[in-house]
Amino acid sequence: MKYLIVGLGNIGDDYSNTRHNIGFIAADAVAFSFKAPFGSGRYGAVARTTLKGRSLVILKPSTYMNLSGKAVRYWMNREKILPENILVIVDDLALPLGAFRMRKKGSDGGHNGLISIIEHLETTDFPRLRIGIGNDFAKGCQIDYVLGRWSAEEEKILIPKLETVVELVKSFVLVGPDKTMNIFNKRDQGSKE
């Protein structure tokens, strides 16, 4: 069995360590847990590893968020991976900082990366993991907030959550989305004490 783990973000120093790049940060954490280095590939940085006989391709698209679907479609076809074995990791303004929700399918929720993937794959039937970045911004300042860098306080909340994200990805590969959602979606993962 082969799996494609996709962390969405934007390439370049201007975007590194920004809220919108939580997908890249999560993909880095997953690859690091396997000691799998990223190499340069077509349409993105790619790391490869295995988990109990299953092959994982970890992708950070280099196409920028709005064209993420081009990279996902290319690697899905090249590696002959089924849409249900793709897990896309994205940021979500609607969830509290550090909370996350996994779904087997669904709408784009207004997320440009998901819009592109749905367009290129011609289906909404692929798993996605939404990681909350909170919505602590003034009216009209959403873009500045999403593309802003993490504060020290936010990093204190977020960094420990990455370990759980890695566990979730491994669970998705080993036991599938249904059991993984049952385990991880029920946890109280928000930043509130």
Q: Is 111 a catalytic residue?
A: no
List all residues 6 or more positions away from 46 whose beta carbon is below 8 Å from its beta carbon.
Answer: 38, 39, 40, 57, 58, 59, 60, 75
Of the residues 6, 9, 18, 20, only one is catalytic, namely 20
Distance between CA atoms of residues 12 and 59, nearest Å:
16
Distance between CA atoms of residues 106 and 118, nearest Å:
10
CA–chain centroid gap for 32, Å, is 15
**Residue 141 carries which DSSP code?**
-
Provide the annotated active-site residues.
Answer: 20
